[in-house]
Amino acid sequence: MSTTTSGVFYKDIIAGASTAAEVGAKTDSVRVTYAGFLKDGTLFDSQINFLLVPSGTIPGFRDGLMGMREGGRRKLVIPSDLGYGGHSVKNPSTGKITIPRQSTLVFDIQLLKVYNPAPT
């Protein structure tokens, strides 16, 4: 696996085409299919064809998306300090902890679409 400057580990399973749109600092939003796991393999979240704003995600997810191209698939391993750190995440409807504090997170991501702003 490679490592970002922030400390996120990533591996491109399928690289998007070199001519495909790329996630960058100015990316408005992306459409992804993903699955998030704890390091023991427990699935805590998954979405299909989900629209998200990278700046609104945890730092490790945002950093792990940078440089991905449309059509790409990537595995991320996010250390707890770039995820939720010392905070547990609970299911709002049940109150059950879905992500314990200090958890390393693993994501499988497929990048479907990149929405970059029009050049000015």
Contact 105, 36 (CB under 8 A): yes
Residue 81 inside a domain? The answer is yes
Q: What domain range includes position 99? A: 2-115
- Mean pLDDT lowest among 67-71, 107-111, 113-117: 113-117
Residue 68 inside a domain? The answer is yes
The pLDDT of residue 120 is 53
pLDDT band at 117 (very low <50, low <70, confident <90, very high): confident
Contact 48, 75 (CB under 8 A): no
Number of domains in the chain: 1
Q: Would you say how long the chain is, in residues?
A: 120
Q: What is the CATH number of the domain that holds 56?
A: 3.10.50.40
How do residues 27-46 score in pLDDT, each as one tens digit?
Answer: 899 999 999 999 999 999 99
Indicate which residues carry an active-site annotation. Answer: 34, 44-45, 58, 84, 107
Residue 63 inside a domain? The answer is yes
Residue 60 inside a domain? The answer is yes
Q: How many CB atoms lie within 10 A of CB 91?
A: 11
Tokens 């491109």 appear where?
12
pLDDT band at 25 (very low <50, low <70, confident <90, very high): confident
pLDDT at residue 109 is higher than 80: yes
Residue 120 inside a domain? The answer is no
